[in-house]
Structure formats: C-alpha cells, structure tokens
Structure 1
Amino acid sequence: MQHTIVMTGASRGIGRIAAEQILRRSPDVHLLVVARGSSGAHLAAELGAGGYAVSHVPADLGSLDSVRSAAAEIRERRERGDLPPLRGFVGNAGMQYTNALTEGPDGFESTFAINVLANHLFVRLLQDLFVAPARIVITASDTHFGDFKHNMGMVPGPAWTSPDVLARTGAFPRPGTAAGGRTAYSTSKLAAIYLVHEYARRLPAGIDAVAYNPGFVPGTGLARNAGPVSRFAMRRILPVMTLTPFATGRDAAGRYLADIVIGTTEAPTGSYVDRTRAARSSEESYDAQREGELWDAAERFTAAFAA
C-alpha cells in the first residue's frame, strides 16, 4: 500500500543514508523531506533519481511559524489526494551550538526549539493524519546518559530543570561557552526521550513512537556551528574511532535508522533503540513527573502555532 513518510534531517549525515535506504527497501513509500529554502527541491530531485517517489516542503526548524506552515502544506496536499496516507514521521534533524545563548525568532533557545519543539509541533499538527500502523521516530543521543562510558567526556551530561527555564537562553552554567552549548544539546536529547514516552501514552493505538540512538557518529553535520578546530577533528580525526566499539560509522547509523522506520527492527512504542536493538535509556530518562511537566510546557509553548 502506498504511504507517506515525512522526514526532517534527510539532507546530510545519517539522515541522507537513511532516506536512501528507506526508498530502496520500501518501494511503496512516498518520502516527503522537510528542508530549508531551495535546498529541499534539490534534495528531492537527488533522492528521487531512479524513479523513487520523493517530494519536499520548505521549513526552517528553528522557527515554529515555519514548522506550522510546512505542516499546513502537508495537510493540504493530503486532503487534495496529492499524497498517499501518512504512516511515518522521522524527526532526525538536530543542532548543537557553541553556546546556550542562541535565540530563535520565537524567543526560545535554538537547541531546544529545533531538537524538541519542532518535532513536537510536527507530531501534534499531523497526528490526526496518521493511518495505523504508523511509526514516529525521533533521533535521540546517548549523551543523555551523561557518563564517560557513553560520551567519553566530550559532552557534559544533561542538567535538567524546569522546562520554562530550559526553553530560554542562559539556562546552564557558562552559557556563552561550548560546554554550555553541549549541555543544552544533551539536555534536549533527554527531553526528546521524555516526549517519546508521553507520545506512547497519549497517541492513539497503532501509532508507535520510538527514540533512536545512533551512538557517537563522527563526520556528520552536527558540529557545523562549531569552531574550525572542532570541525576539522569531527571530519578528519574522530572518524578513525569508527574502527572501535566507541563510535558508529555514518553508513551503519543510517541503515539502523532506516531499519527502525520501516519496521525491520522490532521496537515497541515508547522504546529506546540503541543502534540495532531496544534497550534501556538512562535511569534519569524514566521520570513520569518530568515527562508530564515537559508535555504541558511543550503544549503551552506551541499553542499559538497549533491553533
């Protein structure tokens, strides 16, 4: 049966590999990629080479108004019959800044806006379009563990506090430093897992929600806002770590993501998939009170854009 999967973060890194894998292995898929500006048309043309069904909608994920516009276009196309039924959403786009002071157009700290609120708004605006069985996959990170085993000391662990504080700039110690930006990143990935747990509780039966951890994947575009030394290390030095158990190659991480999206990897709703299998996330990530508080805050933050 023809069906649509909406995907963010398909233009580079593991998302690009995953998009190609999904199309090759699922001939009934219409892949709708969300990308900034004119890059979406170029991406759709590249991915669609060979006869695959690919289209795009433009969106700047740092702007909730732009996310709303993209979701409205998807809805209009579905209602016109231009898209087959919606059976998947892949929130793979992510950003890590060199500080925790970058503010988006809606007044939210940009890491939180892109990694948390953009996904939440897409899920909520498209929720009634999903046809079961459907799957929502949100890319998380093992940086949310906050220990040396999972991040080798490269990223500080999350520093959870009230979502009203986390959503604004300056939420962490030394917010103007790279450490502040990395703390914002790990905390946003913990938030993503909290929301996946809430989706599992709240979405209708047959719409599964899964968090995916690709592990440490050097050579992606995640650090594109970092300084030149860090970017050089991510591109040229750290990829050697994929020869060890401490890192995942980009191609492998992309295949693993595709496996989850198309259902090759078994993952019950609410689960955390560590590369190829469902596993437990950090003990901190199982906190029903925080999950409920974050849900309420995310609903409040996005209410003006969901009306």
Structure 2
Amino acid sequence: MRDLEYLNSLENLTGKTAVVTGGSQGIGLQTTILLGCLGATVYICALDGELDRAGVESAREEVSQHTARSGGSVHFHKLDLSSIESSRSSAHSLKKKISQNSADGDVGRLDIVVCNAAIAFSPQSILSPDGYERTFAVNCLGHFVFVTSLMDIIDSTARVYGDARITFTSSRGYTDAKKLDYKALTSPIPDDGTSLLHLKGAFQRYLDSKLAVLYLAKALDQDIWVKSSESIFVNVCHPGQVPNTALGEHQQPLVRPWLASMIKSTLRVFMKNTTRDAARTQVFLSASSQIREKKVHGEYWAPTWSRSQKYTGTGKEELSTALAKDEKEWQLLWNFCQDAVSKVP
C-alpha cells in the first residue's frame, strides 16, 4: 500500500496534538512522520542524543515536504523513561508546553499518545535509578508514569472533542514471555552483560517486558472504561518484525556494533517490509475514524502481509496464550506500578 493511499484512508489530524515516545528513530520515527503528514502537531519524546536530534530534523523535513495534508509540524520534547521522577517531570513539562502553544491559551489538547519507545538487551548488572530491571523500567514502568501523568489533559481532550487515543507498542513476542517475576525485577545479576552468552537472558527480559506492556494497556483500558471515560480508546499492537530498527543497538557490551550490523544484514535477506510499514498499525489505531465509530478499545492488533512481505492491512488478533489473557496478571502489573510510583514522592 502506497503512502498516499494509506494516508487518504485515515482522518485529517489538522488541529490535533500527538505524542510519540521514542519517535526519533526506527518505527517511532516513521510513526511521527505519518502523523505529521496527516496534519497533527507531533511531539517527539525521546532522549536528547545525536541520533535523536537527527531524527527530529529528518521528520521535520519530510513532513514539511508532504502536500497531501496541511498544518502538520514536529517538535522535540526530552523524555527519559528510565526513572519514575524523570518520566513524571517530563509529562508535567510537556503539559505546560502544550498549554503555552495552545491558540486559546487554555490547557490545550492531547489527542494521541503512542507509547512506542523501547530498549532491549540491557544487562541486569545495573538496575534503573529506582532499582528496577532497566528493560522493564523503560518499556513498561516509565510509560505507566508518563501516561498516567498525562491523563488529565487526555481526559479533558476526550470530553471536549469526543475522541482521544492511547496506543501501546508491544510485540508478538509476548507469546514466548514468562510469568512476570516481580522479585527478580528488583534483583541485580552480578557480571551480567559481560559475555555474549548473556544475550539469551537479556532477550527473555525484553519479551517479558512486552508482555508487561500488553498488561499495562489492558489494565489502563479497564480503568478508563470503569470510570465511564468512553471517548478514550486504549489499544495495543504488534508492529511487525523489521530489520531496520534501533532496538538494542546501544546496549554494549551485549550488542556490539559489528554484531548489530551482522544481524541486520541477515534479517534483510528474509524481511522485505520496512519501518514505514511497521508504523502503519499504530498509526491506524491512532488516526482511523473506525476506532471511534466502532468503539475499538482494549484490543490487540497486528499487521497483515502479502506473500512478498508487503503490508496489506491491519486488524484485531485474539491473544493466544493463557498468560496474556489472565486479567489477574493485568491487575498485578497495574498494582506493582502504582506501588512503585508511590515510593517516589
């Protein structure tokens, strides 16, 4: 499906505000570009590194050149998801920024949040600043803090305009995840990450974190709809496997540059789809009128591919493991995150 055909199938987002965590690289960058091309004001929320700044400029250039929609723009906002305080502080400063940029001078609006940022292959010899395994801290806990700290402006947007979206990026890898061990999430592993033999454990932690993200989306959706906020549509998706992402590239010593390059070169032989294709499912969940009209919420979506591995569409998938469908596990994750936040005043 060509970009113009795809964009024309979605809503015009002119006047709407979107946030994409990890929106400066990989699938997140393509998500930013597509939302901007639809007319949204997009805030890339990411670390302020050299690659992040380059990604912001790349997104701005492509959005400015797009003629199918008008009004789209790209802005940068610093976000470090590795700690509770930095995630919370970033959310509060983002709300101030949105308010300052509001044409009416009010609190502004936040229509779309795409929780896309993720890390992988982080060694567990060093925990996050709050004492949690870093992959879980960034991929799940940081997003919990960031999104819940933004809920007031998301809720006000939904009440005024009748539509707000929160989309989480998980992975079909949840099917290989293990039951979350909350004690292990706070326990460092001495010397972990000093050998390539530790890659298996690091990858398992990534899969487990993506199951946690799925739980987070499900629990947040339940919490919102119990409170009768029926215009906030929370969904979670698998974007699809693509070779050209930044995932794990900077997690030395586990993933050295030569190893990352070799893995990507091998994957390109078998994977013909692109990061732009992989962004389409989360953009659809964020920008299609069907989500609002059909009251789509609390669902897990994934892309469909042709035999030649070209994107052909997207749709709901039923969760395929008992662990993923266990509502008690959703609530355990939610309670764990709430407890973690309560310890950081």
Task: Name the TM-score class by shorter chain.
Answer: 0.7 to 0.9
User: 2:182: which partner in 1?
Assistant: 163
TM-score (structure 2 length as normaliser) = 0.76
**What is the alpha-carbon distance in structure 2 between the residues aligned to residue 295 and residue 208 of structure 1?**
18
Cα distance, 1:249 vs. partner?
Answer: 2.7
Maintained 8 Å contact 2:29/2:55? no
Residue 32 of structure 1 aligns to a residue whose secondary structure is strand
Quick one: structure 1 residues 249 and 163, their matched pair in 2 at CA, closer, same or farther if it must change by over 3 Å?
same
**What is the alpha-carbon distance in structure 1 between the residues aligned to residue 54 and residue 258 of structure 2?**
30
Cα distance, 1:288 vs. partner?
Answer: 1.1
Equivalent residue for 1:290, pick from 329, 336, 343: 329
Maintained 8 Å contact 1:98/1:179? no
Equivalent residue for 2:119, pick from 81, 88, 95: 95
User: 2:9: which partner in 1?
Assistant: none
Maintained 8 Å contact 1:99/1:179? no
Q: Deviations over 1:231-288 (max 9, x none)?
A: 0233212112114xxxx43221023332222126748211111121111123220111
Larger Rg: 2
User: 2:89: which partner in 1?
Assistant: 69
1:207-218 map, 5 Å: 207-218=232-243
Residue 111 of structure 2 aligns to a residue whose secondary structure is strand
Cα distance, 1:37 vs. partner?
Answer: 2.3
**What is the alpha-carbon distance in structure 1 between the residues aligned to residue 276 and residue 22 of structure 2?**
15
**What is the alpha-carbon distance in structure 2 between the residues aligned to residue 5 and residue 80 of structure 1?**
15
TM-score (structure 1 length as normaliser) = 0.85
Quick one: structure 1 residues 13 and 42, their matched pair in 2 at CA, closer, same or farther if it must change by over 3 Å?
closer
State the identity as a percent. 24
Equivalent residue for 2:133, pick from 101, 109, 117: 109
Equivalenced residues, count: 288
Quick one: structure 1 residues 280 and 233, their matched pair in 2 at CA, closer, same or farther if it must change by over 3 Å?
farther
Unmatched tracts of structure 1, length 5 or more: 147-157
Quick one: structure 1 residues 191 and 2, their matched pair in 2 at CA, closer, same or farther if it must change by over 3 Å?
same
Quick one: structure 1 residues 3 and 108, their matched pair in 2 at CA, closer, same or farther if it must change by over 3 Å?
same
Residue 331 of structure 2 aligns to a residue whose secondary structure is helix
Q: Deviations over 1:31-79 (max 9, x none)?
A: 0111212656654444233273222211222122221221111122234
Higher RCO (C-alpha under 8 Å, 6+ residues apart) = 1
Cα distance, 1:227 vs. partner?
Answer: 2.8
Equivalent residue for 1:85, pick from 109, 121, 133: 109
Quick one: structure 1 residues 285 and 7, their matched pair in 2 at CA, closer, same or farther if it must change by over 3 Å?
same
Cα distance, 1:168 vs. partner?
Answer: 4.1
Cα distance, 1:80 vs. partner?
Answer: 3.6
Cα distance, 1:230 vs. partner?
Answer: 3.2
**What is the alpha-carbon distance in structure 1 between the residues aligned to residue 16 and residue 343 of structure 2?**
30
RMSD: 2.6
User: 1:261: which partner in 2?
Assistant: 286
Cα distance, 1:200 vs. partner?
Answer: 1.2
Maintained 8 Å contact 2:127/2:186? no
Maintained 8 Å contact 1:36/1:59? yes
